[in-house]
Amino acid sequence: MSGTIKIGHLFPVKGSPLQATKTAAARGAQSTEFRDMLDAKVLKFSHHAEIRMQQRGIKLQPESLTKIMNAVEDAASKGAKDSLIVFRDIAMIVNVPSRTVVTALDGGQMQSNVFTQIDSAVIIS
């Protein structure tokens, strides 16, 4: 019996352990990229916005949400960070990079109101 043991005989490995780690890391990166891409297509609502919408009786239909998401995409393509989105009688302040509605107002609250800390506005017809 010889004093050397060949590891490959006991634990056959395809490729080196480094390659396996790199492959797992690449999959993780792809997963993160997919998640980022998915998040970029989803409109989120902050807790504050959800409460304001309930208090003000604001309800959005799926087709309305699609139009609002398209408006956010347009704002993002122009480099907007915080945008006022006006759709019919609803105004929303949206953090564009995170695709998050920060607050929402209905027609009554929009009148004689000053909107601050925004860098853009999108009016949806």
pLDDT greater than 80 at residue 16: no
Rounded to an integer, the average pLDDT of 88-106 is 94
47 and 32 fall within a common domain: no
Both 108 and 70 in one domain: the answer is yes
Q: How many C-beta atoms surround the C-beta of residue 96 within 10 A?
A: 24
Q: Across 17-75, where does the E strand assignment appear?
A: 44-45
What total number of domains does the chain contain? Answer: 2
Q: Give 120's pLDDT tier (boundaries 50, 70, 90).
A: very high
Pairing of strands 90-95, 100-106: antiparallel
89 and 50 within one domain = yes
Asked if residue 4 is part of any domain, the answer here is no
Nearest to 106 by CA among 66, 49, 65: 49
pTM for this prediction: 0.68
Same domain as 83, residue 55: yes
Q: Are residues 60 and 19 located together in one domain of the fold?
A: no
Give the per-residue pLDDT at 23.
53
| Phi then psi dihedrals of residue 46, to 5 deg | -70, 165
Per the domain annotation, does 28 fall within a domain?
yes
Is the pLDDT higher at 13 or at 60? 60
Same domain? For 54 and 111 the reply is yes
- 32 and 73 part of one domain: no
**pLDDT tens digits along 25-46:** 555 555 677 666 555 668 999 9
What confidence tier does 19 reach under pLDDT thresholds 50, 70, 90? very low
pLDDT digit string, tens, across residues 67-85: 999 999 999 999 999 999 9
